[in-house]
Amino acid sequence: MTAILAGAALALAGCADGGSQTAAPLDLAKAPEYSGTLSILTKFGGDPLEPYFEDLAAGYKKLHPDVSFELIQETDQSIKDKTKTLTASQALPDIYFTWAGNWANNFIDGGLAADLTPAIAPGTEWGNNFGESALKAFEKDGKYFAVPLYNNGKFMGYNQRIFKELGLTPPTTFEELMSSCSVLKAAGYEPIAFGNKDGWPALHYLQQLFAYEVPAQVLEADFNPGTAKLEDAGYLKAMKQFTALVNACTGSGKDSNGVLYTTAQQALAQGKAGMYYQEILEFDTTSSDKSPLRKDGLGIFKLPAASDAKGDTKAIEGSPEGYIINAKSRNAALAADFMKFATSTLNAAKLSAPPYGQPSAVKGAVSEQNSTSPVIEGINQVNEASNAIIWLDSVTVPEVADAWLAGGEALIAGTQSPEQVLASVRSASSAAR
């Protein structure tokens, strides 16, 4: 992720004066011309997600026959390089995917994100369809720059049959989690399936543990190189917890940097592992109709905090993911109309239902009628959380995110201590000021 952010930043720096080029508000007072081609870069490549935007495009075309579509469908991993390439070549499509945090801010500051405030801000007709926290994830300086498509959060998924078989209950403290790992390992199961070949899975563990161990105000200040000190002892404690978990609870241990996260996902799906740390967006994939886990039962719980944690133990890592309308698009008004169609009650319900299982950010879209129990439970917990902590690899600047990425890999491999990792991150943060 950080490689693409760095590439985007370089491309955006080519703007006239190199400073912020925030776009003017998108004028939606004039009705769009229902003709031409809309280009869309999605993060829905591959099964089972790919048909969703294809069906959306077909449904919109039935209403407006003169509108055609160019869909660029990428996966969670490939979209980073694709976005980098399109940005550098000044060929970003009319609508494109974004994460919240520094990732989105690169495009906002570069003038490539249309200001949607008049259309989607809280209190507007369209904006009232979304939870306010989802809208605020893409807010900057009081303006709103993206359409939140679905909510997300990170939870430990577990095999209910295995837990019942071994007399285990979802742990409520980090200490209980480590104890559960011992029971699972003794019974011949991989306690926690883990693959970090892509780098970001380690950061997801670290960010949640940081939220538990570092006071919220300190953590927030440390994300910004201009205010960062990175001196709180909670960082070291969280990294030591993560290292202990990798060594005691994962089957791959120090070799986890060579294992794909999808391999870990399948270990839980096939009943070989007791637990797997996953996003809500993965629930229906991990527990698909054909997987043994569907029969065994997927349960979820928050990654538990240590009993003496000094941070916000009610916070959950995760944030909505959304779509930006290109401020330089000649079809911006048409793009906004399409995104209204995409976030209609009907299409939001389809998105939330299997096989997609992507819990829509539209209020009331996730229900017992269209979503599985784990998805409903996860979204309810996200909505009730004291705070949503944005992913560590997108909440801060690329240089710092790169340092955390390398640090997570080093902690797993045992080549650096928590103290050494934190020193590297401090150095990167200082250099980024």
Domains and CATH numbers, the chain: 2-151+319-365 (3.40.190.10), 154-316+392-431 (3.40.190.10)
Instruction: Give residues with Cβ within 8 angstroms of 404, minimum separation 6.
Output: 203, 206, 392, 393, 396, 425
For residue 128, the one-letter residue type is: N
- CA–chain centroid gap for 115, Å, is 22
CA pair distance 124, 26, nearest whole angstrom: 14
Strands annotated E in 99-220 = 139-140, 143-144, 147-150, 154-159, 190-193
- pLDDT per position as a tens digit, 346-394: 999 999 998 898 999 998 899 998 899 999 999 889 878 888 899 998 8
Residues 6+ positions from 142 with CB-CB distance below 8 Å: 117
Q: What is the CA radius of gyration of the chain?
A: 21
Strand order in the sheet with 298-301: 190-193, 273-279, 154-159, 298-301
Encode pLDDT of 229-264 as tens digits: 999 999 999 999 999 999 999 999 999 999 999 999
pLDDT in tens, 67-107: 999 999 999 889 989 999 999 999 999 999 999 988 999 99
pLDDT (mean) for 192-218: 97
Closest residue by Cα to residue 253 from 131, 412, 87: 412
Give the predicted TM-score (pTM) of the model: 0.81
End-to-end CA separation in angstroms for the chain: 20
* DSSP element (H, E) containing 27: none
**CA 362/CA 135 separation, integer angstroms:** 10
Question: Which pLDDT score is estimated for 31?
Answer: 83
Residue 6 has pLDDT above 60, yes or no: no
Classify residue 74 as left (phi > 0), alpha (psi -120 to 50) or beta: beta
Biggest distance spanned by C-alpha atoms of the chain: 67
